[in-house]
């Protein structure tokens, strides 16, 4: 069995890499250690790169289409990992999940319609409804025993008259795995109130050892009928730059509406490298993924230990899935802008600003990306600890 080396430091600067080459634009300096954009600093898997190289050796890159072996690889992955038994007809290629969510908003709702989200959450969930003139309805999560939880009393009340609920399952920014019980409760409420649920499961494959991802579509007869599920190999195999995502809809009616709309716009035709890479990833990726998740879990433990020993005042929500951790520095008695300034200009690390995940309620909070070689993680942590003390 191939043993992969996730300790290798790979120079990404100069490759038009958003995480490293995009620092200047957001942070106004380019000498930061980037622990923000949600991709990993690991090499994309050899079997994916080989498949792309092999396809290039054909030397004609004309119009393409998804092959039956691509669909088989997708269906097998969904069946083996998430007990989703999808027919090819129930699946649709999508160039990206953010685009997919945006299409769903435009297709299924009208300006002014209410769209529910829980915060803190991945910023496009907040921005897409607003920029399409829908009414954003926010139900803040609570923190209990170091985990984010849904405040069901608030959720139920806010869900009134909503058309859509957009859910990150598992949850970004803190990698919370929603268990069967929570998802069933959401399903019961959304069914009763006639809400379509968009379950963004992009981080599902990154569920860490010791936890189990449950696909929203599988928790009840109703959840299967009233949901749109998005999945992708992009986070899993570090191939986000290829734009290769998949939509799953079980309901005939919902599918007819949404897939008909996608096809009318001609937005989901796909490209050669997206199909080639996704097929190779899903067909050959089990061992790579297992080794990578073990490595990520070790990084989570490293972060946990480091914080306890060196920054005990930080309140952390550690990921159960993904490589994203939510760090609350508010106990240090500094304002959000003072903390931000310290992190950027003294520690020289780029974290995601917590307020972008839901506004001023998250002042003092920052999201850290642990998807990197341990040496880089420790470098970032040491820089922060030196500065903050
Ligand atoms: C919850 C969530 N959805 C979607 C995306 C982006 O998906 P895509 O690149 O397919 O648009 C991200 C990226 O960080 C994410 O965290």
- List pLDDT tens digits, range 298-307: 999 999 999 9
Domain end residue (candidates: 259, 284, 309) = 284
pLDDT digits (tens, 9 = 90+) for 159-177: 999 999 999 999 999 999 9
Residue 323 CA to ligand 1 center (angstroms) comes to 13
* Number of structural domains the chain divides into: 2
Pair 178, 36 in one domain:
no
The model's pTM is 0.97
Pair 264, 198 in one domain:
yes
Q: What token pair was written down for 378?
A: 């420790």
Confidence of residue 269 (pLDDT cuts 50, 70, 90): confident
- The arithmetic mean of pLDDT across residues 181-187, rounded, is 98
Confidence of residue 382 (pLDDT cuts 50, 70, 90): very high
CA–CA separation, 203 and 190 (whole Å): 22
Query: Is residue 3 included in any domain, yes or no?
Result: no
Query: Is residue 257 included in any domain, yes or no?
Result: yes
Name the residue of 97, 201, 243, 271 whose CB sits within 8 Å of the most ligand 1 atoms, as the mutation to test its pocket: 97
Confidence of residue 310 (pLDDT cuts 50, 70, 90): very high
Confidence of residue 313 (pLDDT cuts 50, 70, 90): very high
- The arithmetic mean of pLDDT across residues 248-273, rounded, is 93
CATH of the domain at 66: 3.40.640.10
Domain end residue (candidates: 284, 315, 346) = 284
Phi/psi of residue 247, each to 5°? -110, 140
Pair 129, 217 in one domain:
yes
The pLDDT value recorded for residue 1 is: 84
What's the CA angle centered on 206, arms 205 and 208, to 5 degrees? 120
Pair 291, 279 in one domain:
no
The pLDDT value recorded for residue 129 is: 97
Whether 156 shows a pLDDT value over 80: the answer reads: yes
Residue 133 CA to ligand 1 center (angstroms) comes to 21
Query: Is residue 245 included in any domain, yes or no?
Result: yes
Pair 383, 273 in one domain:
no
Query: Is residue 212 included in any domain, yes or no?
Result: yes
Nearest CA to ligand 1 atom 13: 38
Residue 39 CA to ligand 1 center (angstroms) comes to 10
CA–CA separation, 225 and 203 (whole Å): 22
Domain of 291, in residue numbers: 18-45+287-388
* DSSP notation for 34-46: E--SSS-SSPPPH
Query: Is residue 56 included in any domain, yes or no?
Result: no
Domain end residue (candidates: 284, 318, 342) = 284
Cβ atoms of 209 and 296 within 8 Å: the answer is: no
The pLDDT value recorded for residue 131 is: 97
Pair 228, 272 in one domain:
yes
CA dihedral 276, 295, 75, 243 (to 10 degrees): -40
Pair 198, 265 in one domain:
yes
Query: Is residue 219 included in any domain, yes or no?
Result: yes
Query: Is residue 50 included in any domain, yes or no?
Result: no
**Which residues contact ligand 1 via a Cβ below 6 A?**
38, 96-98, 122, 168, 172, 200, 202, 232, 234, 240, 245
Query: Is residue 2 included in any domain, yes or no?
Result: no
Pair 162, 214 in one domain:
yes
CATH of the domain at 368: 3.90.1150.10
Pair 190, 156 in one domain:
yes
Pair 279, 291 in one domain:
no
pLDDT digits (tens, 9 = 90+) for 8-63: 999 999 999 999 999 999 999 999 999 999 999 999 999 999 999 999 999 999 99
- Closest ligand 1 atom number to CA of residue 96: 10
Residue 232 CA to ligand 1 center (angstroms) comes to 9
Pair 361, 308 in one domain:
yes
100: left (phi over 0), alpha (psi -120 to 50) or beta: alpha
Residue 202 CA to ligand 1 center (angstroms) comes to 6
> Tokens 């080639």, residue?
276
Pair 332, 381 in one domain:
yes
């Amino acid at each position: 069995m191939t043993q992969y080396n996730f300790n290798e430091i790979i120079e990404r600067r100069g490759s038009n890499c958003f995480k490293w080459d995009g620092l200047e634009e957001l942070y106004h300096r380019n000498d930061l250690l980037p622990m923000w954009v949600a991709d990993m600093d690991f090499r994309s898997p050899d079997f994916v790169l080989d498949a792309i190289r092999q396809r290039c050796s054909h030397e004609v890159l004309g119009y393409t289409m998804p092959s039956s072996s691509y669909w088989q690889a997708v269906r097998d992955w969904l069946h083996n990992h998430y007990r989703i038994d999808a027919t090819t007809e129930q699946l649709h290629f999508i160039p990206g999940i953010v685009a997919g969510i945006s299409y769903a908003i435009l297709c299924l709702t009208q300006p002014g319609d209410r769209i529910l989200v829980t915060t803190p959450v991945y910023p496009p969930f907040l921005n897409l409804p607003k920029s399409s003139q829908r009414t954003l309805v926010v139900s803040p999560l609570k923190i209990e025993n170091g985990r984010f939880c849904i405040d069901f009393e608030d959720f139920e009340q806010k869900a009134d008259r909503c058309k859509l609920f957009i859910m990150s399952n598992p949850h970004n920014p803190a990698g919370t795995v929603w268990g069967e019980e929570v998802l069933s409760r959401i399903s019961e409420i959304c069914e009763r109130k006639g809400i379509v649920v968009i379950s963004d499961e992009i981080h599902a494959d990154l569920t860490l050892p010791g936890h189990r991802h449950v696909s929203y579509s599988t928790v009840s007869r109703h959840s299967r009928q009233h949901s749109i599920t998005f999945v992708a190999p992009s986070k899993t195999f570090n191939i986000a730059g290829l734009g290769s995502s998949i939509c799953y809809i079980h309901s005939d009616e919902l599918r007819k509406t949404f897939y008909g709309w996608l096809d009318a716009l001609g937005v989901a035709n796909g490209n050669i490298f997206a199909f080639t890479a996704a097929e190779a990833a899903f067909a050959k990726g089990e061992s790579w993924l297992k080794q990578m998740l073990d490595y990520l879990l070790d990084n989570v433990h490293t972060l946990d230990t480091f914080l306890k020993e060196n920054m005990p005042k930080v309140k952390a929500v550690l990921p159960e899935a993904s490589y994203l951790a939510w760090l609350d520095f508010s106990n240090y008695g500094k304002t959000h802008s003072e903390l931000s300034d310290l992190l950027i200009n003294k520690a020289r690390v780029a974290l995601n600003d917590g307020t972008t995940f839901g506004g001023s309620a998250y002042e003092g909070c920052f999201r850290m990306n642990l998807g990197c070689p341990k040496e880089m993680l420790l470098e970032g942590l040491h820089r922060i600890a030196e500065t903050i003390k």
